[in-house]
Amino acid sequence: MVNLPKPLSPHRLLNLLKAEKSPLSALNLFDAATRRPGFTASPAVIHHILRLVAADPSLLLAHAARILSTVRCPCPEDVPLTLLKAYAKARMPDQALHVFQSMPHVFGCSPTVRSFNTLLNAFVESNQWPRAEGFFKYFEAARVSPNVETYNVLMKVMCKKREFEKGRGLLTWMWGAGFSPDKITYGTLIGGIARSGDLEFALEVFDEMRERGVEPDVVCYNMIIDGFFKKGDFANAREIWERLLREESVFPSVVSYNVMISGLCKCGRFSEGLEIWERMKRNERRHDLFTYSSLIHGLSEAGDLGGARRVYEEMVERGVRSDAVTCNAMLNGLCKAGKVEECFELWEEMGKWGLRNVRSCNIFLKGLFENGKVDEALSLWDSLLEADAATYGVVVHGLCRNGHVNRALLVLEEAGHRGGGMDVDVDAFAYSTMINALCKEGRLDEAGGVLELMNKRGCCLPTVVSYNILINGLLRVGRFREAYGCVNEMLGKGWKPDIITCSTLIDCLYESKMMDTALRLWHQFLGAGLKPDITMYNIVIHRFCSSDKVDKALQLYSTMRRRKYVNLVTHNTIMEGFYKIGDCEMASKIWAYISEDELQPDIISYNITLKGLCSCGRVTEAIEYLDDALVRGILPTVITWNILVRAVIF
């Protein structure tokens, strides 16, 4: 029960509301007052309570409508405008429209261009372009003159729709119509263009801004710098940073420094990132968690554990509260450096601070396995209360890598049956790792069993990678029928074999003198919709040539040339095939095709030709080709001289 003083004036209620620290307590006080017979809340009271609920979307949704029902006096536009802005920010355009329409009879005021702009923005923030464009047309019917803020909202529409040229056109129109675009107009367009990746265009608009006398703020600089870094363009990012430093009226913000430090670290320029960090300290810009986290992550990834540790220690000394992301970056760096003891120390601290998450566990487990600490890793694994698919992948891979294949198999078989947070669906990586380990140990039947387990559980079906591993294992021990069965199963399930599948099968069948089977399989793959790349075609041509089936290789080669799908390797391969069967004339034609296809022979092309001609006793012609190579600036190798010396001596 809320106790209110008697009598209660609106001014007294406002003071009581301002004294409340909890929004809910203030709402209870407001409700009690408005239920009192004869009491009418003043505009100031209504405005204060609306500002409280506007700050929290859950309060806005639960209480705004009830507060509106208590309005009994005329209010200035600022009161409903508070609610309009809150609904726009919360992406609740229908509620915003209701408030807008009710302004005359509920609040006793008519909307001006400020309210029109806010409702327009509500439609834009909710990505309701047709409603936004329709409402803008209503401005004229309502005899409301748009202002710069109106056009800033329209600029936001164009950027969200990626209509940047229209946005540039709007700028030009505004200048011509007497509206002076401001920092927000330009900043909105620059930000949209920069996020799209067209930094040249963004910089063009940025420079126009200066030429038009609109001073860019630090946000504009930050967006351009960040855009260049995201494209990996360190040089231009640095140039814009230097321009910012030369500005007399604009200064780098904490965000500017963070963008630079993060970008430099991602570009691998860690020493320069540290220089910016030191500059930030000299200029008394307070480092935040993002600053420290970016540096720690970048330095750890680069193997500069000393630098990462120094930054981490300063962060702790300055009282900046760490988070799981930062600790994980430090933990990862320690693991990579093999500092297992320090890993355990940090792990304990993370536990005390409540900063461990599943990602932390995965990093630590991986680090322990990579440093050969299998017992410690298993102890950690057994103590876990929560895991994800990646955790199982780390454990299975780590155990297999350290030779504990049976234990890895047990972990995989237990997956989904441990209960609680450990009861998760394992992904294809863990299963594929297990299949690979079993194949390497020659336990092919068990590997096939793991593939069946994937099908049985249904949480993740076998992928092309899973099948490729098993197919390769079966082929290596000559179990062609079963490998072929795996291929058919894969095709039956809608998986298209990839280049690895094809090359593995064709290579193994070739080595086993089963070229006809390999050829049938090749046509089967093509029939299944496989679109081999040029490397795969070259492999098949090579196998044909190696099996003295140069006629079939020539058919495939001719098809490839018609489709303009050849490279120098293709020409070299078929040319070598013809030289091996002593067909120098056909090999010479292939040499001519190299130029026809706008390619340049390399030293491999010359070595093939020299060897082929010498083997046919045509040493003089071979010397002519050597002279041609020298004229082209192609230097002979040891192989080249060996070919010629052997031809002369023998």
For each of the domains in the chain, give its residue range(s) and CATH number, in order of start. Answer: 1-73 (no CATH), 357-460 (1.25.40.10)
In whole angstroms, how far apart are CA 465 and each of 4, 401, 497?
Answer: 72, 18, 9
Cα 601 from Cα 592, distance rounded (Å): 10
pLDDT at residue 149, as a whole number:
95
Region 192-201: mean pLDDT is 93
Q: Which of 471, 492, 491 is nearest to 483 (CA)?
A: 471
Q: What proportion of the chain, given as a percentage, has pLDDT over 70? A: 96
Cα 271 from Cα 512, distance rounded (Å): 55
pLDDT at 207 over 60: yes
Q: Which of 496, 408, 416 is nearest to 459 (CA)?
A: 416
Most confident of 323-337, 361-375, 530-544: 361-375
Cα 220 from Cα 187, distance rounded (Å): 6
Q: Give the pLDDT band of residue 96 (cuts 50, 70, 90).
A: very high
pLDDT at residue 420, as a whole number:
55
pLDDT at residue 423, as a whole number:
63
pLDDT at 650 over 70: no
pLDDT at residue 498, as a whole number:
76
Q: Which long-range contacts (CB under 8 A, 24 or more apart) does 189-192 make?
A: 189/155, 189/158, 189/159, 189/164, 190/220, 190/223, 190/224, 191/159, 191/219, 191/220, 191/223, 192/158, 192/159, 192/160, 192/162, 192/164, 192/167
pLDDT at residue 26, as a whole number:
87
pLDDT at 515 over 80: no
pLDDT at residue 535, as a whole number:
83
pLDDT per position as a tens digit, 11-28: 888 888 898 888 898 888
Q: Give the pLDDT band of residue 111 (cuts 50, 70, 90).
A: very high
Compare 414 and 424 and report the one with higher pLDDT. 414
Ranking 143-157, 350-364, 407-421, 614-628 by mean pLDDT, the lowest is 407-421
Ranking 358-362, 509-513, 542-546 by mean pLDDT, the lowest is 509-513
Cα 414 from Cα 381, distance rounded (Å): 13
pLDDT at residue 418, as a whole number:
62
pLDDT per position as a tens digit, 322-366: 889 889 999 999 999 899 999 999 999 999 989 999 999 999 999
pLDDT at residue 70, as a whole number:
87
Q: Which pTM value belongs to this model?
A: 0.64
Q: Which long-range contacts (CB under 8 A, 24 or more apart) does 375-384 make?
A: 376/340, 378/407, 381/411, 384/421, 384/422
pLDDT at residue 558, as a whole number:
92
Q: Give the pLDDT band of residue 405 (cuts 50, 70, 90).
A: very high
Please give the backbone phi and psi of residue 504, each rounded to the nearest 5 degrees, phi first: -60, -50
pLDDT at 528 over 70: no
pLDDT at residue 421, as a whole number:
55
**How confident is the prediction for the chain on average, in pLDDT?**
88
pLDDT at residue 322, as a whole number:
85
Quick one: DSSP state of residue 617? T
Q: Write a three-state SS string for 105-172.
A: HHHCCCCCHHHHHHHHHHHHHCCCHHHHHHHHHHHHHCCCCCCHHHHHHHHHHHHHCCCHHHHHHHHH
Q: Give the pLDDT band of residue 422 (cuts 50, 70, 90).
A: low
Cα 297 from Cα 299, distance rounded (Å): 6
Q: Within its chain, how far is the Cα of 310 from the centroid?
A: 29
pLDDT at residue 419, as a whole number:
55
pLDDT at 413 over 80: yes
pLDDT at residue 220, as a whole number:
94
